[in-house]
């Protein structure tokens, strides 16, 4: 029988939530790496038993863990994320130059075809790749080196490279997103990069339509249509139909267009999910109502999904990597909150139920669809 494995990273450990295809009864395993911040846990599409976790701590730095048995046992792999060459400086919050310093791995993106290849998006923003199962990491230095790096600045969470998307059709094309720099694209497998932010407008930077400087919170794409990208920006939900060459706003009738997560239905490329958050200073849902908004038209027209979600006194946040979809016939949608709840919908968002209610603050949610 097929099933799903939901991989949850939290402020104090990782959890693995497993169910069969009905997604009603759940087995909860964890915490793994108790006491550490787990920024991201994700499985290899090429080998579902291989799972990666970014384990980090203000005290003890960065550890990358790898499981080869579906999350039952783990072992640390390499954790040396040394920047290529002289790192240079980026802008600090006050606009002064600040040395590039590695802080942590925000996001791990395994190759779709090679279990030993995985990308790591890090803070301070850079992209690393390992081709040896995580033993060693090399920076794809053309990203920081393309020319604008000295003008990048941190968002509230740090200057992080948090999104890595590999084009499902063209192995040489990838997208990354950085807070607060924007979206960058490579067409030569990571050697050279260019910003792809035309159409973004951000009132928080001196030049609202600058080539770089935008606080992009997350990107999502449907693998069947790799040229169509969706973005939750600091403010604004955006869409590109030309692989990032240009963007247009699709916030439409959302109650607020601030938020962090965005994702796409597994079988319907025009069905998109966001969780509107009140504002950049009020990181909780408007009116204390936790609502996922779904568009079936690729944006602009949105419907609130509330069944099973708290509609009073709810003041949690949903962070940028904390939503995922499975690929079962009836698409499952999952998200985690800073209040420690992980909600699941087995019917494309029509109804929701918590899998767990009382985890530490959730940093990331990924899901594996198992045969």
- Residues forming contacts to another protein in the complex (CB under 8 A) are 35-36, 57-63, 76, 79-80, 82
d(CA 208, CA 210): 6
Least CB distance to another protein at residue 331 (A):
37
Least CB distance to another protein at residue 34 (A):
8
Measured in degrees and rounded to the nearest 5, phi and psi for residue 273 equal -125, 140
Least CB distance to another protein at residue 64 (A):
10
As a whole number of Å, the end-to-end CA separation of the chain is 7
Collapsed DSSP state (helix, strand, coil) of residue 57: strand
Q: Between residues 19 and 56, which has the closer beta carbon with respect to another protein?
A: 56
Least CB distance to another protein at residue 15 (A):
17
* Residues with Cβ within 8 Å of residue 174, at least 6 apart in sequence: 119, 164, 165, 166, 167, 185, 186, 189, 190
Least CB distance to another protein at residue 223 (A):
35
Least CB distance to another protein at residue 157 (A):
16
Q: Is residue 284 within 8 Å of 277, Cβ to Cβ?
A: yes
Q: Between residues 63 and 160, which has the closer beta carbon with respect to another protein?
A: 63
Q: Are strands 362-370 and 3-10 parallel, antiparallel or unpaired?
A: antiparallel
Q: Between residues 92 and 169, which has the closer beta carbon with respect to another protein?
A: 92
Q: Between residues 60 and 281, which has the closer beta carbon with respect to another protein?
A: 60
Collapsed DSSP state (helix, strand, coil) of residue 145: helix
Collapsed DSSP state (helix, strand, coil) of residue 166: strand
Q: Between residues 63 and 367, which has the closer beta carbon with respect to another protein?
A: 63
Q: Is residue 219 within 8 Å of 227, Cβ to Cβ?
A: no
> In terms of Cα–Cα distance, which of 212, 219, 131 is closest to 167?
219
Q: Between residues 2 and 57, which has the closer beta carbon with respect to another protein?
A: 57
């Amino acid at each position: 029988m097929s099933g799903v494995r939901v991989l949850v990273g939290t402020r104090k450990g990782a959890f693995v939530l497993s169910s069969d295809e009905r997604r009603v009864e759940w087995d909860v395993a964890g915490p793994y790496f108790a006491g550490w911040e787990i920024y991201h846990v994700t499985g290899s599409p090429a080998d579902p038993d291989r799972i990666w976790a970014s384990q980090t701590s203000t005290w003890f730095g960065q550890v990358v863990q790898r499981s080869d048995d579906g999350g039952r046992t783990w072992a640390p792999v390499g954790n040396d994320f040394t920047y290529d060459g002289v790192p240079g400086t980026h802008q600090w919050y006050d606009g002064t130059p600040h040395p590039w310093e590695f802080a942590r791995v925000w996001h791990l993106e395994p190759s779709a075809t090679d279990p030993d290849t995985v990308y790591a998006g890090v803070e301070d923003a850079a992209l690393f790749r390992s081709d040896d199962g995580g033993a060693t990491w090399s920076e794809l230095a053309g990203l920081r080196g393309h020319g604008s790096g000295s003008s990048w600045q941190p968002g509230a969470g740090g200057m992080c490279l948090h999104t890595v998307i590999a084009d499902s059709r063209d192995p040489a094309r990838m997208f990354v997103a950085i807070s607060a720099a924007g979206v960058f694209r490579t067409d030569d497998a990571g050697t050279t990069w260019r910003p792809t932010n035309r159409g973004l407008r951000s009132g928080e930077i001196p030049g609202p339509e600058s080539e770089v400087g935008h606080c992009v919170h997350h990107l999502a794409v449907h693998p069947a249509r790799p040229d169509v990208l969706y973005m939750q920006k600091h403010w604004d939900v955006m869409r590109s139909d030309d692989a990032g060459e240009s963007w247009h706003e699709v916030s439409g009738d959302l109650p607020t267009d601030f938020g962090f997560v965005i994702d796409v239905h597994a079988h319907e490329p025009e069905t998109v999910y966001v969780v509107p958050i009140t504002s950049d200073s009020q990181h909780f849902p408007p009116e204390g109502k936790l609502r996922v908004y779904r568009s079936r038209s690729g944006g602009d027209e949105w419907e609130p999904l509330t069944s099973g979600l708290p509609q009073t006194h709810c003041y949690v946040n949903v962070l940028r990597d904390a939503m995922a979809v499975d690929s079962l016939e009836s698409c499952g949608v999952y998200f985690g909150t800073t209040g420690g709840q992980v909600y699941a919908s087995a019917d494309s968002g029509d109804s929701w139920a918590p899998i767990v209610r009382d985890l530490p603050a959730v940093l990331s949610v990924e899901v594996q669809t198992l045969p």
